[in-house]
Chain A
Amino acid sequence: MENIRIKATNRSPAVSFDFARHHLRIKGESYPEDVLAFYGPILASLDAYLVSLRSGRCRCDLALVYFNSGSAKALMLLLEKLDEAAARGAAIEIYWYYDEKDDTMKELGEEFGEDLRHAAFHMEVMQR
């Protein structure tokens, strides 16, 4: 599968989905002009990848300093997809990195984490 590499802009995060290494990473700020245009293709690739993953392992790092309410929906969909793959037998590890000076992002991480039933969810302080 074609890996995904998107450079960060001032409104969208850096995305690096290395499917061969089973490592997905989203890092930065997220309030893109068009959430659907930005996250749509990423979520579609993720779907295809997760089908092929079966009972394999995958790590997903989310290191966001800020995301708007539109992006929250996309992130929730991403986490749901990972959780569904875990329900089907994949070993999914999700790491949520937050800035310790901003408890809003910590809270949001806890909320997203609470909704996961099958994937392992970890919270870590972001290294500045």
Chain B
Amino acid sequence: MLAQELLDIRFALRRRGIIFAYSGYVTESVLTGLGEALKQKLTMEDASTKTMRSVFAVFVEQMQNIIRYSAERLPPDAEDEAFTLRYGLLTIAQENGDYIVYTGNLVQRADVERMRLYLAEINGLDKKELKTRYREQLRLGPGTLPRSAGIGFIEIARRVSKPLKYDFVDVDDQTAFFALKASI
């Protein structure tokens, strides 16, 4: 039974074309390790250099967004970022010749509207406008190195071959689950 249960999960993933799945607390070392495995896997797939780098770039930005912004964290009231664990889900699938990077994590419901607006705006930009926005974001706060999810989403949008898909579903009074689909 045990083997069957796990095998069922594996089959369910495979049916969705998922070649890579992680669900759990994400740390920088998880990013490093998964990143190495992903690189090896992509090399074996014979994907073009540009595709490989784009999938990898999207993977890095999405993982870093989880590490920095997931609202599901341990301990819940942690003040020191270095000792905070943040939960998220990331899968990489192959669908009709595209690589798809899916991520999901909790966000504050209070942030949902702002995120929706921002993602809709990014999705409405063509490659040239994205380029301009990327530069504008880089220039925010001259002389400093700020943390911002904003530029991460722009970097993702620059790398994808189709518009981003995203969705939110309320989980409780405070939080909502945010899902993002990036196709390369």
Contact = CB atoms under 8 A, between A and B. Distances in A.
Interface of A: 10-11, 31, 33, 35-36, 39-40, 65-66, 68-70, 72-74, 76-77, 99, 101-105, 107, 111, 115
Given A31-B60, A68-B61, A77 B145 contact: yes
A102 B50 contact: yes
Interface stretch (B4-12, B51-59, B83-91, B95-103): B51-59
B131 A33 contact: no
A36 to B, nearest CB: 5
Interface of B is mostly: helix
Interface of A is mostly: helix
Interface in B141-177: 143, 145-147, 151-152, 154-155, 158-159
28 contacts: A10-B32, A11-B32, A31-B60, A33-B28, A39-B145, A40-B145, A66-B53, A68-B61, A68-B155, A69-B61, A69-B152, A70-B145, A72-B134, A72-B138, A72-B155, A73-B138, A73-B145, A74-B145, A99-B49, A101-B49, A102-B49, A102-B53, A103-B50, A104-B53, A104-B54, A104-B158, A104-B159, A105-B53
Contacts of A73: 138, 145-146, 151
Contacts of B50: 101-104
B interface residue count range (under 10 / 10 to 19 / 20 to 34 / 35 or more): 20 to 34
A101 B48 contact: yes
Given A11-B32, A33-B28, A70-B64, A107 B57 contact: no
B135 interface: yes
Interface string B9-53: 000000000000000000010001001100000000000111001
A76 to B, nearest CB: 5
Interface of B: 28, 32, 35-36, 48-50, 53-54, 56-57, 60-61, 64, 131, 134-135, 137-139, 143, 145-147, 151-152, 154-155, 158-159
Contact of A111 (B60, B61, B131, B151): B131
Candidate in B48, B53, B56, B154 with the most chain A CB atoms within 10 angstroms: B53
Contacts of B131: 107, 111
B57 A10 contact: no
A11 B151 CA distance: 19
B145 A35 contact: yes
A70 to B, nearest CB: 7
A108 to B, nearest CB: 9
A36 B145 contact: yes
Contacts of A111: 131, 134-135
A10 B56 contact: no
